Amino acid sequence: MNIADRIHEVVKKLPETQAFKVLDFIRSLDQAPASDERAKEAMAALLANPLPAKGDGLPMKRTELYDRPCLR
């Protein structure tokens, strides 16, 4: 008896709602590698085009950092 037959024997004894949960779980296992690839592609795209820095992009002087109107 192969694994598919063993799963079939167990699932056919379950109520239909639980059998659908098993089916959904099996489908999620089947789609997991694809989602990993999408995550890798999204990370590569983010690293290729990082978000722009906030502000004007110029370095701040230490005195300006600690002597700002919002801190007074």
Give the largest Cα separation in the chain, rounded: 77
* Amino acid in position 24: D
Segment 24-49 shows an average pLDDT of: 80
How many other C-beta atoms are found inside a 10 Å radius of the C-beta of residue 22?
A: 13
Q: Say yes or no to pLDDT of 60 above 80.
A: no
Q: How far is residue 46's CA from residue 69's CA, in Å, rounded to a whole number?
A: 34
- Global pTM reads 0.44
Give me the pLDDT at residue 3, please. Answer: 87
